[in-house]
């Protein structure tokens, strides 16, 4: 018999019974029970207006001013249609996505590890939450259907959760986040090498089509998130999601922040490849880590140092 995979308790087959037990043992605050039950059943959870508008505004101000600190941020290079990341420039640019803003923008840290979020993650993680990858989308990047286990690897792939936080109201057609309800219950997708990681020789279109077929075969409902500023959307490791195909202009704003987290009892897969980036910056009841910046850095603004990813 193959050993059962390491999962968060809320992703285990007996999760509903486990929730009742935890509740009886006083391990779950009353206010979190319905949220946990929803996450267990659906694989996602929405907290409308959970982040204070003033905090969002501070983060947006930081994003709008990032060009005043050229070289300190790491961005996509979509204008030149290049897959490599690049260091940020001296001109305002609302087209590209920015990585790991929690390193240089205090508001990005406060949002990703907001006490409400960090406490909720600690409940499902049974340990401190580590934010280990953050993407700030100024517009939709048009991600195809996927599970984060494929692209955001953790030593134990299922010890993963994410938040998607709206920094503005989302316009329909701008490439809104979309997902298949309950799709976290699909049988684990294995790639050609037997792992759960998307690697060399894989095709993202083929992978997306196979997920779509699997979701349709199970009759899962397809949903789109027309989020309002301050909404927090959680998903579990295997929820199938994508950016809904954009119908508006390519530069239509969709300011939103995705953070991926794992429990402190495991480690991001990239810790193997980048030993000098295993540093953690404590924050609140959690911490953050970065594949691009050398941490800890005592709160100064620093430049990314992962040379091989930067053009």
Ligand X SMILES: O=C(O)CCC(=O)C(=O)O
Contact yes or no for 182/118 (Cβ under 8 A)? no
Contact yes or no for 43/236 (Cβ under 8 A)? yes
Shorter beta-carbon distance to ligand X: residue 137 or 261? 137
Asked if 134 touches ligand X (CB under 6 A), the answer is no
Shorter beta-carbon distance to Fe ion: residue 137 or 293? 137
Site for Fe ion, rule CB under 5 A: 148
Q: Element (H or E) spanning 57, and its range?
A: helix 53-64
In whole angstroms, the minimum distance from the beta carbon of 201 to Fe ion comes to 21
Q: Which of residues 139-178 bind ligand X (CB under 6 A)?
A: 140, 143, 148, 162, 164, 177
In whole angstroms, the minimum distance from the beta carbon of 107 to ligand X comes to 19
Closest by Cα among 261, 231, 235 to 109: 261
Q: Which of residues 247-276 bind ligand X (CB under 6 A)?
A: 256, 258
Please identify the residue of the shown chain whose CB is closest to the bound ligand X.
243
What is the total count of residues that contact ligand X (CB under 6 A)? 12
d(CA 291, CA 277): 6
In whole angstroms, the minimum distance from the beta carbon of 167 to Fe ion comes to 17
Which partner, Fe ion, ligand X, none, binds residue 74 by CB below 5 to 8 Å per kind? none
Q: In 50-73, which positions are buried (b, 16+ CB within 10 angstroms) versus exposed (e)?
A: bbeeeebebbbebbeebeeeeebb
d(CA 146, CA 243): 10
Shorter beta-carbon distance to ligand X: residue 22 or 241? 241
Asked if 96 touches ligand X (CB under 6 A), the answer is no
Which partner, ligand X, Fe ion, none, binds residue 261 by CB below 5 to 8 Å per kind? none
Asked if 241 touches ligand X (CB under 6 A), the answer is yes
In whole angstroms, the minimum distance from the beta carbon of 295 to ligand X comes to 21
d(CA 233, CA 242): 14
Does residue 296 have a cis peptide bond before it, meaning omega lies within 30 degrees of 0? yes
d(CA 125, CA 134): 18
Which residues on neighbouring strands pair with residue 163, listed in sequence order? 234, 259
Contact yes or no for 301/76 (Cβ under 8 A)? no
In whole angstroms, the minimum distance from the beta carbon of 202 to Fe ion comes to 16
Token pair for 95: 């087209």
Shorter beta-carbon distance to Fe ion: residue 62 or 157? 157
Asked if 196 touches ligand X (CB under 6 A), the answer is no
Q: Binding residues for ligand X, per CB under 6 A?
A: 135, 137, 140, 143, 148, 162, 164, 177, 241, 243, 256, 258
């Amino acid at each position: 018999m193959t050993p059962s995979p390491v999962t968060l308790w809320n992703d285990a087959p007996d999760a509903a019974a486990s929730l009742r037990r935890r509740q009886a043992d006083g391990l779950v605050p009353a206010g979190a029970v319905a949220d946990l039950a929803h996450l267990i059943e659906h694989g996602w959870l929405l907290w409308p207006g959970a982040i204070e508008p003033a905090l969002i505004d501070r983060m947006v101000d930081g994003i709008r001013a990032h060009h005043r600190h050229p070289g300190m941020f790491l961005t996509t290079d979509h204008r030149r249609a290049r897959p490599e990341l690049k260091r940020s420039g001296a001109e305002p640019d609302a087209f590209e996505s920015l990585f790991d803003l929690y390193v240089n923008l205090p508001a990005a840290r406060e949002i990703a590890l907001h006490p409400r979020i960090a406490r909720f993650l600690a409940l499902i993680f049974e340990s401190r939450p580590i934010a280990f990858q953050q993407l700030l989308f100024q517009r939709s990047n048009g991600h195809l259907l996927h599970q984060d286990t494929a692209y955001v690897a953790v030593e134990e792939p299922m010890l993963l959760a994410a938040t998607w936080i709206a920094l503005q109201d989302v316009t329909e057609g701008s490439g809104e986040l979309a997902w298949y309800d309950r799709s976290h219950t699909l049988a684990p997708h294995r790639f050609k090498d037997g792992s759960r990681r998307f690697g060399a020789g894989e095709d993202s279109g083929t992978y997306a089509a196979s997920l779509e077929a699997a979701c349709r075969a199970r009759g899962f409902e397809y949903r789109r998130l027309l989020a309002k500023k301050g909404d927090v959307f959680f998903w579990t490791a295997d929820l199938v999601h994508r950016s809904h195909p954009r119908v508006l202009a390519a530069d239509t704003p969709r300011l939103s922040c995705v953070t991926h987290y794992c429990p402190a009892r495991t480690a991001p897969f990239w810790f193997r490849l980048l030993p000098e980036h295993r540093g953690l910056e404590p924050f609140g009841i959690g911490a953050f880590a970065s594949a691009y910046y050398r941490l800890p850095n005592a709160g100064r603004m620093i430049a990314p140092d992962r040379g091989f990813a930067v053009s």
